[in-house]
C-alpha cells in the first residue's frame, strides 16, 4: 500500500534554533516529492518540489533533501522564526505521464516555535 | 495576481442532502485539484481536472464528483451527505505539468448535522 509517514508528529523548538522533519514513503511509481507548510485555518503553501534526480532543494531558510534509494526525505528549517509555527506536510506523487498523478499525503508534523 | 478562491467558506448541511462547492483558480492555470482534509485522515486527494477533463482520481466513492468549465473554474458535488463527510475541502490550481507547484485556496468548511 502506498504510504507516506512523517516524524515527529509534533515538535516544539525555541526561536532561532534549527530543526529537521522526516518523511519516509513507500509510494511507487514515484514522480516527485513535495513539502507544504499549512498555517492554521489556511490552505497549504508549496515549499519545495523534488523529482527522482534531485537530492536537495532550498527555499530561503527551508532546505529539503531526498534519498530516492532509501525513500526518505527531510525538511531542514534554519534559524527558526515564530512565523514558522505551522503544520508541515510531505506529499508524494505517484506520477503518470505528464500529470501530477495521485498525490499521497503524510499526516504532517506540527511545529511550534516559542520565543 | 488573485489567488485561488473557494466559495462558500462555511457550509452546514444535514445527512442525505447534496452540496456543491466552487473553486476559481489563478488566472492561466488549467489544472484544478480537490482535496478533503479531516483531523483523523489528514489530506486526501479527491480528483484533478485539466482542460475540462478528469485526469486523475483518488479513492473516494462515486458520491463525490466534479466538473471543470471552459474558464477553468471548477465545482465539486457531494450527494447523499454522510456525517463522515464533515471536513475542510481544499482546491488547488496549477499550470498542469507534473512538476508544477500547486496553489491552494483556504477551503470550504463543510459540517454535516
**What mean pLDDT is predicted for residues B67-87?**
97
Residues of B with Cβ-Cβ distance to A91 under 8 angstroms: 43
**B53 - beta bridge partners?**
B50
Reduced DSSP (H G I as helix, E B as strand, rest coil) percent helix, strand, coil of chain A, to 5: 5, 55, 40
Residues of A with Cβ-Cβ distance to B35 under 8 angstroms: 105
CA B99 to chain A, closest CA, distance in angstroms equals: 7
| Structural contact between residues B103 and B29, judged by C-beta atoms closer than 8 angstroms | yes
Residue A21's CB: how many other CB atoms inside 10 A? 22
CA B30 to chain A, closest CA, distance in angstroms equals: 12
| Average predicted confidence (pLDDT) for chain A | 92
Helix (H, G, I), strand (E, B) or coil at B85: helix
Q: CA A77 to CA A38: how far, in whole Å?
A: 15
CA B41 to chain A, closest CA, distance in angstroms equals: 7
**What mean pLDDT is predicted for residues A15-21?**
98
pLDDT at A31: 84
Residue A46's CB: how many other CB atoms inside 10 A? 18
Residues of A with Cβ-Cβ distance to B96 under 8 angstroms: 99
> Among residues of chain A, what percentage have pLDDT more than 70?
94
Question: Of A31, A100, A105, which has the smallest distance from its Cβ to B42's Cβ?
Answer: A105
Q: CA B95 to CA B101: how far, in whole Å?
A: 8
Q: CA B91 to CA B87: how far, in whole Å?
A: 13
Query: Which of A19-23, A66-70, A105-109, B94-98 bottoms out in mean pLDDT, i.e. has the lowest?
Result: B94-98
- With an 8 Å Cβ cutoff, are A46 and B103 in contact? yes
- Chain-centroid distance, C-alpha A24: 10
- Tens of pLDDT, residue by residue over A57-112, are 999 999 999 999 999 999 999 999 999 999 999 999 886 655 667 788 999 999 99
The DSSP secondary structure of B23-36, one letter per residue, reads EEPPTT--EEEEEE
Amino acid at each position: 500500500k502506498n504510504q507516506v509517514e512523517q516524524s515527529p508528529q509534533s515538535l516544539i523548538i525555541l526561536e532561532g534554533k534549527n530543526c529537521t522533519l522526516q518523511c519516509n514513503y513507500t509510494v511507487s511509481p514515484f514522480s516527485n516529492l513535495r513539502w507544504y507548510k499549512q498555517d492554521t485555518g489556511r490552505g497549504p503553501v508549496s515549499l519545495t518540489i523534488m523529482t527522482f534526480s534531485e537530492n536537495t532543494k532550498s527555499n530561503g531558510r527551508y532546505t529539503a533533501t531526498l534519498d530516492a534509494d532509501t525513500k526518505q526525505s527531510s525538511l531542514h528549517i534554519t534559524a527558526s522564526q515564530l512565523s514558522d509555527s505551522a503544520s508541515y506536510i510531505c506529499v508524494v506523487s505517484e506520477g503518470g505521464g505528464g500529470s501530477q498523478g495521485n498525490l499521497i499525503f503524510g499526516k504532517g508534523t506540527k511545529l511550534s516555535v516559542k520565543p | 495576481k488573485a489567488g485561488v478562491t473557494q466559495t462558500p467558506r462555511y457550509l452546514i448541511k444535514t445527512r442525505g442532502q447534496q452540496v456543491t462547492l466552487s473553486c476559481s483558480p489563478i488566472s492561466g492555470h488549467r489544472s484544478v485539484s480537490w482535496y478533503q482534509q479531516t483531523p483523523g485522515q489528514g489530506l486526501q486527494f479527491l480528483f484533478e481536472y485539466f482542460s475540462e477533463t478528469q485526469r486523475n482520481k483518488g479513492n473516494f466513492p462515486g458520491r463525490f464528483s466534479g466538473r471543470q468549465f471552459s474558464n477553468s473554474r471548477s465545482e465539486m458535488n457531494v450527494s447523499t451527505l454522510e456525517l463522515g463527510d464533515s471536513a475542510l475541502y481544499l482546491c488547488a490550481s496549477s499550470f498542469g505539468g507534473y512538476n508544477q507547484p500547486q496553489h491552494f485556496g483556504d477551503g470550504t468548511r463543510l459540517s454535516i448535522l
